[in-house]
Amino acid sequence: MNSSRFANVSPLGDRAFLIRFEDEDRARLWYLAARRRSFIGVDDLVLAYRSAAVYFNPDRVDPDALLIDLESIDARAVHDHSAAAIVLPVLYDGVDLPFAAERLGLSINDVINEHASRVYHVFAIGFQPGFPYAGYLSERLAGIPRLESPRTRTPAGSVAVAGRQTGVYPNDSPGGWRILGRTPLRIVDFDREFFPIRAGDSLRFRSIDRDEFERREGELLDPHSNK
């Protein structure tokens, strides 16, 4: 019986599949189950919102046989505990905080409390290495537009929002999202090949003061710590 309930499967070129699901939850649970298995000839497995991509090497696996295996994954056998519950400390002093508050008709404190009160899902990692696309924001926080023209530099650690989503910039980079605050922690470590936040994890932000920010600046995120 097919419990994974693919909504449909399309080729993503001739060396990958894009599997679509009915909603984000089904996609996430299937992905967490698939990630625990190892498939010969599968190079990469990527979750993104309501879809997952499977990149394979046709020298090592027959694509049609692989697809049958992928469809047989029982996503019911997996629970959310196979993903990490990330807690990220944030100093809410972002340059776009006043804009966001005004746009939403909230006080700055309301914006902070609202942003830090929810547990988000990490729907995907992308845009740049280690950048978590998380959401969805509550109705009250949603709807802040991207900048019309991206900033040439959004500093590493910036915690930002756009539309219904929130994310964290792992490195200094151009960026069009509105910055609410910054985390003192590093969320990627290339030298150690360490990416503590993974698609399928949950992500919560915890408001901290300047002292804690300064004390912890440069620390590497431990996905199993809730500090």
Partner 1 sequence: MSLFVVEPGIRSTIQDLGRTGYRAFGVPPGGAFDRESHALAAALLGDDSNSACIEIALLGGCFEALDPTAIALAGAPFQARIERGGVVIKELHPPFATSLASGDRIRIGGTPSGCRCYLAVAGGFQTRIILGSRSSEKPLASGDILPARSSFTITRYMRSPISHASPDKPIRIVEGPADDPAARSVLKRLCEIEWTASLDSDRVGVRLQSEQGDIDWDEDPERPSAPVAPGAIQWTKKGPIVLGVAAGTMGGYAHFAHVINADLDRVGGLAPGDRVRFERIECGEARRIDRERSRERISLLKRVSATYQSINHETD
Distance of alpha carbon 13 from alpha carbon 15, whole angstroms:
6
Min separation Cβ 85 and partner 1, Å: 19
Q: Report whether 176 contacts 146 (CB < 8 A).
A: yes
Min separation Cβ 73 and partner 1, Å: 16
Min separation Cβ 187 and partner 1, Å: 11
- Residues near 208 by beta carbon (within 8 Å), at least 6 away in sequence: 89, 90, 91, 184
Strand, helix or coil at 163?
Answer: strand
Min separation Cβ 19 and partner 1, Å: 10
* Residues in contact with partner 1 by the rule CB under 8 A: 10-16, 18, 43-53, 55, 58-59, 63, 123-131, 133, 188, 190, 193, 195, 198-199
Distance of alpha carbon 53 from alpha carbon 70, whole angstroms:
11
Min separation Cβ 70 and partner 1, Å: 15
Of residues 50 and 103, the one with the C-beta less far from partner 1: 50
Of residues 43 and 74, the one with the C-beta less far from partner 1: 43
Min separation Cβ 34 and partner 1, Å: 11
Distance of alpha carbon 210 from alpha carbon 126, whole angstroms:
29
Distance of alpha carbon 78 from alpha carbon 80, whole angstroms:
7
Give me the residue label for tokens 């699901």: 21
Of residues 172 and 209, the one with the C-beta less far from partner 1: 172
Of residues 41 and 155, the one with the C-beta less far from partner 1: 41
Of residues 55 and 99, the one with the C-beta less far from partner 1: 55
Beta bridge partners of 52: 19, 47
**φ and ψ at residue 33, rounded to 5 degrees:** -70, -45
Of residues 129 and 150, the one with the C-beta less far from partner 1: 129
Residues, the chain, total?
Answer: 227
